[in-house]
Structure 1
């Protein structure tokens, strides 16, 4: 009998791989705003790679290549990232392919000299059905309707305002940090925008940005549920103490449920693991489905009642060492269960009864899969890199559409090197730029040259989940824009457009039936505002759009770099 050895502690979550477009030189300038900037006004990236964590709570993170270029990887245990900088003004006419490759290679070299990035997260939001979890993920969508061929109807709640031009509603200054610090998690309620800070969770008036409440924590947040209940309750896990030189990464073994409207802590506890003896479980991921909070790590897990904190069930470690590595939540609850050895793992995706943890169905992933990623739980869609064949740093070579009732594979969709979607290398529920709804999966294509003399562009396309075949859906980002989906809005798709160097970003709605685009928000084109908005890494930024309001925040911070422009913990835009 064998079972996974318990790690002595839990490291911070790893950043994802890849980026949306080639790295750029740091833009100049700053962003003056209603909220006074902090003394250290920018978040940055480590100038030298972080040193060893001192404990292997997870296997070493696999190295992944930059999507557009292959280059030598760093030796520290997570993938290198590029700076999230704004597109730069054109300096000369469009170059030949050879010249363009030389320029891109030079840009990559500059980035490698300056340092590496760190972020990972995803964002978005979606309304859930009654008594189910609301979804704040860019992955699944609660209550997705089958397309019924071309008969998609119903639309969404988001409507274009009379004036789509937005203004900056507020900014929250960055706290000063000297090392990589997680600030994972952001949510929006009817009245409040909620963001994690340094060992705290803070609620802000969603229009004015004034602080409504603050919850101090013993340590920094290391995992969070991107789903909420209908009455805006969610869960986080956090470290048991503040970080010190002697203990730089305390165990992430505290878990709490929070009322996001009132700022009240509903409960706060730790639990013993099923395979770590007397130690408390270190939670690397947290999710929520209905009223069940489920958390897991490499030394066990547990499920709780979100209202009371009562333990509903704990995953069992079987006699042959099988255990749950993590869960996907939202409209349903899905577990990834791992058996076998590190050299020959066997992964099963199980739909569970959230109240009891009893499996309803199971699908065995093909050999060569080390880390399945739950994109959506209803309908059930899984992403995986089969045999390390993705080749683009995305962590996705294929999507698997599965019948959640029977565990039968409905369709397999090849994705290697084709799309600008990403999944965290080892995480179960951390994929970005992927949306599921209308019986389809919506994906952004990779960037490419357009007709304009300068800039690049892309499209959003879809595949039928019943057949795996591509549909006629095709939305073009437009010349010099790039676009990715954020979430479903009824049967419509909410998307964000990354702007060219002289424009602000845009939020658009794509009609689920016709794919006709409706502009919902156009952000300011003033240079200072542009620089602040474009300074986020769009593969990782927490981007939420609700009812004419857009919020952007980083999931992690590090020591500022002198090459960066003004940065904020939160930037909010509004058309109200």
Structure 2
């Protein structure tokens, strides 16, 4: 008897095996305060500088509501963390997998996608809790499952999602027509607009969505299109050009297109900088032959990840403002970017462990983080972890924000790293036992966000019980942590 194909409802054999190895534990953040306080002395001894003050940075300039958000973080008054969100669900079907696409945060709301819903959890007041965790402030339900999301959020708190416009039976979501696009307001849970995606814009089951300043871009096998973020008006479309077509986009403060040509036996790739409002190509970088896959690690500065002769990423190539290659970064097995390849997904903007700043990029190497110069490709400062593995999350001015897993009696942490001096400052300390975050803190699979002084760990898949004896168990979908004194 053959197994059903992987879908938003049915697990593959690999996913079930992974799920069996996962340990499910009840979140214990509330009991972590003593461990955090006891460990402050350890952090001071390790050179963290003790409890940090605000990082001295100018406030970011005012942005247009439809511009992709660029926030500046400051240090809290206390690094002691407490629970901000606990979102749990029961998946009743034995051996099932529920896709959990999308995780976003504003200063007011944390929002999380699960199958065909997005739920928003208030961050501005105490939430009433029950056996299933924090009750959402709002729930937005779509006719069919979410099929594509973007991590980008506008300055006004808007993001884009693609979804099936009609209900589909369990096990059929991969073949469902991903024929709707909407921009939603994360603070209110309301759709600002929605539109039907035509066959020239997005094919069924293979859609990529991103946001750049003022525009939402969508790509699929049959073509691509862009829409005005505020109004939903279609700005342009691009159809296949001979054997070449847009494979996906990367957004942010610029828009990059990954163009794939030829067939699967001998693909050829090029990267284009695209004017988000006209669809015109500003420059083109042609990737060399013999490349199996290409991913867009960053749009601005432009950095691409390539797999030369294998499916694993082997090189990172920074590009200059004219689309010319700068220093190439050759990767070793010890610092392989994770999350670039998402099975059964058209996403190309997915190298979540690569964080790109104005002059450097950062990669996890063993348990540490190493910087690489964009101009030369040479490695620079290494931030050594005194405890568990570190994952770079985002740049913050000239600094880097990273998440560190707890180890032994050392709490999990969010830290600010200074590339110029090597100084480390804790921003949040919480939960000495990493099992408290079970199912949400795997950086190779899950979403880890730090926004407005809060850390969020969110699963991208939620698993059902392995057998009927485990029916009724609750799984973590997302966990949020904030300072007791922001």
SS class of match (1:418): helix
Once the two structures are superposed, the pairs formed by residues 258-407 of structure 1 within 5 Å of their partners are 258-274=184-200, 282-318=205-241, 320-388=242-310, 395-404=312-321, 406-407=322-323
SS class of match (1:532): helix
SS class of match (1:513): coil
Q: Which residue pairs with 1:164 in the alignment?
A: 79
Q: Which residue pairs with 1:442 in the alignment?
A: 362
- State TM-score, norm by structure 2: 0.80
1:515 aligns with 2:441: no
1:195 aligns with 2:112: yes
User: Which digits, 9 at most, give the CA deviation of each residue in 1:286-319, with x for residues without a partner?
Assistant: 100011101112232221111111111111212x
Instruction: List gaps (5 residues or longer) in structure 1.
Output: 1-9, 35-126, 136-141, 144-155, 447-457
- CA distance in structure 1 between the partners assigned to 2:19 and 2:368 by the alignment: 20
- Contact 1:399–1:413 (CA under 8 A) maintained in structure 2: yes
**Using a 3 Å threshold, how does the CA distance of structure 1 residues 14 and 330 change in structure 2: closer, same or farther?**
farther
Quote how far apart the aligned CAs of 1:14 are: 13
SS class of match (2:436): helix
- CA distance in structure 1 between the partners assigned to 2:153 and 2:235 by the alignment: 18
**Using a 3 Å threshold, how does the CA distance of structure 1 residues 377 and 574 change in structure 2: closer, same or farther?**
same
Q: Which is further off, 295-304 or 245-254?
A: 245-254
**Using a 3 Å threshold, how does the CA distance of structure 1 residues 502 and 27 change in structure 2: closer, same or farther?**
farther
- CA distance in structure 1 between the partners assigned to 2:354 and 2:173 by the alignment: 34
Quote how far apart the aligned CAs of 1:429 are: 0.7
Quote how far apart the aligned CAs of 1:28 are: 7.0
1:428 aligns with 2:333: no
Once the two structures are superposed, the pairs formed by residues 24-103 of structure 1 within 5 Å of their partners are 26-27=22-23, 29-31=25-27
User: Which digits, 9 at most, give the CA deviation of each residue in 1:224-263, with x for residues without a partner?
Assistant: 0111111111100112333315845422221111111222
- Contact 2:117–2:141 (CA under 8 A) maintained in structure 1: yes
**Using a 3 Å threshold, how does the CA distance of structure 1 residues 28 and 377 change in structure 2: closer, same or farther?**
closer
Instruction: List gaps (5 residues or longer) in structure 2.
Output: 1-5, 31-59, 128-134
SS class of match (2:292): coil
- CA distance in structure 2 between the partners assigned to 1:227 and 1:461 by the alignment: 25
Q: Which residue pairs with 1:547 in the alignment?
A: 452
- Contact 1:191–1:205 (CA under 8 A) maintained in structure 2: yes
Q: Which residue pairs with 1:493 in the alignment?
A: 400
- CA distance in structure 2 between the partners assigned to 1:293 and 1:14 by the alignment: 30
Q: Which residue pairs with 1:240 in the alignment?
A: 165
Quote how far apart the aligned CAs of 1:177 are: 5.0
User: Which digits, 9 at most, give the CA deviation of each residue in 1:367-401, with x for residues without a partner?
Assistant: 1223211111111000011111x7xxxx3100011
- CA distance in structure 2 between the partners assigned to 1:264 and 1:128 by the alignment: 27
- CA distance in structure 2 between the partners assigned to 1:290 and 1:402 by the alignment: 20
- CA distance in structure 2 between the partners assigned to 1:542 and 1:275 by the alignment: 28
- Contact 1:424–1:430 (CA under 8 A) maintained in structure 2: yes
- Contact 1:13–1:284 (CA under 8 A) maintained in structure 2: no
- CA distance in structure 2 between the partners assigned to 1:380 and 1:14 by the alignment: 37
Q: Which residue pairs with 1:254 in the alignment?
A: 180
Of 564, 567, 573, 2:475 maps to: 567
Aligned residues: 426
Of 356, 366, 390, 1:483 maps to: 390
SS class of match (2:435): helix
- CA distance in structure 2 between the partners assigned to 1:245 and 1:468 by the alignment: 47
Quote how far apart the aligned CAs of 1:420 are: 4.5
**Using a 3 Å threshold, how does the CA distance of structure 1 residues 518 and 246 change in structure 2: closer, same or farther?**
closer
Q: Which residue pairs with 1:184 in the alignment?
A: 101
- CA distance in structure 1 between the partners assigned to 2:447 and 2:409 by the alignment: 23
- CA distance in structure 1 between the partners assigned to 2:375 and 2:390 by the alignment: 25
- Contact 1:505–1:522 (CA under 8 A) maintained in structure 2: yes
Q: Which residue pairs with 2:463 in the alignment?
A: 558
Quote how far apart the aligned CAs of 1:561 are: 3.6
**Structure with greater strand share of residues:** 2
Q: Which residue pairs with 1:94 in the alignment?
A: none
- State TM-score, norm by structure 1: 0.68
Q: Which is further off, 431-440 or 494-503?
A: 494-503
* Structure 1 vs Structure 2 CA RMSD: 3.1
- CA distance in structure 2 between the partners assigned to 1:386 and 1:332 by the alignment: 26
**Using a 3 Å threshold, how does the CA distance of structure 1 residues 211 and 30 change in structure 2: closer, same or farther?**
closer
- CA distance in structure 2 between the partners assigned to 1:13 and 1:316 by the alignment: 32
